[in-house]
Chain A
Amino acid sequence: MLSNTLSIANRIINQLIRDLRTIGLLVIAPLLIASIVGVSIPQKSMLDYTAPAMLAMLIMFFGFLLTGISFQRERSQGTLERLMASPVSRLDIVGGYLLGFLLFALLQVLIIFFYMVYVLDVGFQGELWQIIVFEIIIGIGSVCLGTFASTFARNEFQITQFIPIIVLPQMFLCGLLWPVEQMPNYLQWIAKFLPLTYGVDGMRALMQQGESLLGIGKEIGVLAAYAVGLLILASLTLRRGTSG
């Protein structure tokens, strides 16, 4: 039921608003990374090439980390069990998380985007609303990925151990640092299966080539398929009525 999804999203927003330290980190950490990238890349053309990929990477990374840790806490503190004993459905829970965290992810994207464009002087051609829509699509996948990954972690520390397994390979293989086409064939093949590759390609097409959302249909399709697949997996991991 939509009202339960909204209740859960509202609760998550209230939790984050009350946690000022996390809010601070949510804003400062991406700005710090963006600044380092901006300062360390002296060539403007290189920065224009890297910035869209950074935007895609940051929303995936923070979406995954934030949701993974929050969901793990929900499991370890017993609140998830309490929710599972209530009338809410598994989709209400995952949907509530999606809505709650996407709001913050979106805020984060806007801050980084404007910082990159107006402070670091990164050029862009596409339309802002289309960039935001595409970032939301990447964000949905990362929230579902974080929810799914939390199933396999026994504590919050273990969630961070997934970063080298889930996030770092994608960062290196998605074309953020060097073009995928210049990688060995077997790495190019692996890159085709990683959602961030499509996120980076889509963002570059939108921001550098001024493409519209219609022009990046393949990237949207692949990311949407990942998001739906992960949403189903994330919902299935929230087991109610385990028999034994």
Chain B
Amino acid sequence: MSNTAIAIDKLTFNYGKLRVIDDLSLEIMVGTSFGLLGPNGSGKTTLIRLLVGLLKPAVGSIRCLGEAPSPANAGSRGYMPQLPALYTELSVEQNIDFFARIYGLRNKKQRKQRVDEVIKLVDLWDKRKTPVMKLSGGMKQRVSLGCAIVHQPPLIFLDEPTVGLDPDVRVNFWEYFQSLTQSGSTIIVSSHTMDDAAHCQKLVFLRQGKIIALGTPQELRLATGRADTNLEDAFLYFIRRSEKEKNAE
């Protein structure tokens, strides 16, 4: 069995005349926590939407676990969009149960067991009967994560999952993401904060739909030539380098 979770080959995508993803190729291995880092408008969300099948490439190809993303294989993916995207009148339990049902957990008893497990995991057991509209922003993010992982998918796409979270919850999220990758799941996280970047096993820095750097956080820091560099400085270093290369062409 191939060890490649995601293979992207020469991917290009345009919104009208605007090129959002530009000739991007990338391979992500199974069991990795992979970070898509970049400023707003760098193409992170578009790339995730392409990977979950919401958008189709104009040019190039995407393979998720060996197949092009389609509704038929959507069960192998979990998707947490940037907006919480929840049914606000429904309770925490009803939201997670609904997504469990549409992702194929048909057996009522097993589904209840899994939904309870996920509610405990996102630490909302006391709020399980509370309508989502009455929850804080951070709690809604946790419900949204629960909806994305309830069917235990091998591929999990998380678009800015830690936005609006308290630092302690953010740490809990990352501990959980790491436990998922240890159990063989592959996690693709988009973020624009370097704090998230530091938790990823591997990263790409994106700018204007192109990869400007790829490697482990340590590799990216070392590539700047300074051992004490943080990821934020490393990102700025790669931006300047890509601009220089562009000007030289």
Contact = CB atoms under 8 A, between A and B. Distances in A.
A83 B84 CA distance: 13
B86 A15 contact: no
A8 B56 contact: no
Contacts of B101: 3-4, 7
Given A78-B81, A243-B55, A11 B86 contact: no
Contacts of B86: 77, 79
Given A14-B89, A87-B75, A244-B58, 15 more contacts: A8-B102, A11-B90, A18-B131, A78-B82, A78-B85, A81-B54, A81-B85, A84-B54, A85-B74, A85-B79, A86-B71, A86-B102, A240-B54, A240-B71, A243-B55
A77 B99 CA distance: 16
Given A18-B131, A85-B53, A86-B74, A11 B85 contact: no
B104 interface: yes
11 contacts: A3-B106, A11-B98, A14-B90, A14-B94, A79-B87, A86-B71, A87-B71, A87-B102, A87-B104, A88-B71, A243-B57
A1 to B, nearest CB: 9
Give the interface residue-count category, chain B: 35 or more
A19 interface: yes
A45 interface: no
Contacts of A244: 13-16, 20, 55-56, 58
Interface in A1-28: 3-4, 7-8, 11, 14-15, 18-19
A89 interface: yes
B135 to A, nearest CB: 14
Nearest to A11: B98
B81 A241 contact: no
Contacts of B79: 82, 85-86
A83 B102 contact: yes
Nearest to B106: A3
Contacts of B102: 4, 7-8, 83, 86-88
A138 B99 CA distance: 31
A242 interface: yes
Given A85-B79, A88-B102, A242 B55 contact: yes
Contact of B90 (A18, A82, A85, A87): A18
Interface of A: 3-4, 7-8, 11, 14-15, 18-19, 77-79, 81-89, 240-244
A19 B71 contact: no
Contacts of A19: 89
A14 B14 CA distance: 39
Given A79-B87, A81-B81, A244-B13, A86 B54 contact: no
A91 to B, nearest CB: 11
Contacts of B84: 78
A165 B71 CA distance: 36
Interface in B30-82: 52-58, 70-72, 74-75, 77, 79, 81-82
Contacts of A84: 54
B230 interface: no
Interface in B114-169: 131, 147
A11 B101 CA distance: 10
Contacts of A4: 101-102
A139 to B, nearest CB: 22
A79 B80 CA distance: 10
Interface string B4-15: 000000000111
A89 B98 contact: no
A79 B84 CA distance: 8
Contacts of A89: 71
Contacts of A8: 102
B103 interface: yes
Contact of B56 (A11, A79, A87, A242): A242
A141 to B, nearest CB: 26
B242 interface: no
Contacts of B70: 241
B143 to A, nearest CB: 12
B85 A87 contact: no
A88 B70 CA distance: 11
Nearest to A88: B102
A82 B71 contact: no
Nearest to B19: A244
Contacts of A85: 52-54, 74, 77, 79, 81
A77 B85 contact: yes
B74 A87 contact: yes
